[in-house]
Amino acid sequence: MGKDKLRRFAEIATFGNVLQLDAGKVMKGQWAAKQFGNDHPVVLELACGKGEYTVNMAKRHPDKNFIGIDYKGNRIWRGAKTALEERIPNVAFLRIQIETILDYFADGEVSEIWITFPDPQPQVSREKKRLTAPRFLEKYKQLLTAGGCMHLKTDNDGLYAYTLEKLAELDLAPQAQTTDLYRSDLVDELLEIKTYYEKKYLAVDKNINYLKWRW
């Protein structure tokens, strides 16, 4: 591991807005009250990377609590540091494997889940690792409040098509869907947020797919 990564790992251990592994389990069922000191809705971004989307959603919605989840601490460092420097109180980051998410949140504790530009895991042998695979969808259903919603934003056409197939198998009809977000009428204050990599995709005219659904 390079010196920068080691430094960032050491630094996030001192951040009040980052919880790592077992330290996050004590928040289960009490994230709003214990971490944020309020009773606002809890919104998750899965595989948040550097946390750009999490931080920007929090800026736009101070009435909600946002938690970015990723396993790579050197990436989380960037979003967490920005939130501290800009004094954004409704942001936190959780460093865990998403497979274990039920250990960290109680049933019905989450109002929304965002999956923004995840690794599409295109190989058939890695289907179970796709964040919209059935085993993950069942976990999300358990975490969400009644009527809680899911969002998928991806440049990968294959993952978009795969997710539609899995929703159909569950008899779930998308509330919103498009294969070309920025040429649709769906863009709002949250969907207009663009990460570094998304800007690169758009620069070469890559279409962006979007899905929204509820249970």
Query: Using an 8 Å Cβ cutoff, are 160 and 211 in contact?
Result: yes
How far CA 50 is from CA of 1, 9, 104, 106, 199, in Å, comes to 18, 13, 21, 25, 15
Query: Using an 8 Å Cβ cutoff, are 80 and 57 in contact?
Result: no
Is 119 noted as a catalytic residue in this protein? yes
Query: Using an 8 Å Cβ cutoff, are 93 and 67 in contact?
Result: yes
- Which long-range CB contacts under 8 A does 11-14 form with residues at least 24 apart? 11/77, 11/81, 12/73, 12/76, 12/77, 12/80, 12/93, 12/95
- What is the rounded CA–CA span in Å between residue 54 and residue 124? 30
Q: Is 102 exposed, middle or buried (0-12, 13-18, 19+ CB in 10 A)?
A: middle
Residue with tokens 């980052």: 18
The residue annotated as part of the active site, out of 103, 119, 157, 180, is 119
Query: Using an 8 Å Cβ cutoff, are 93 and 19 in contact?
Result: yes
Phi, psi of 11 (to 5 degrees): -70, -40
Residues involved in catalysis: 119
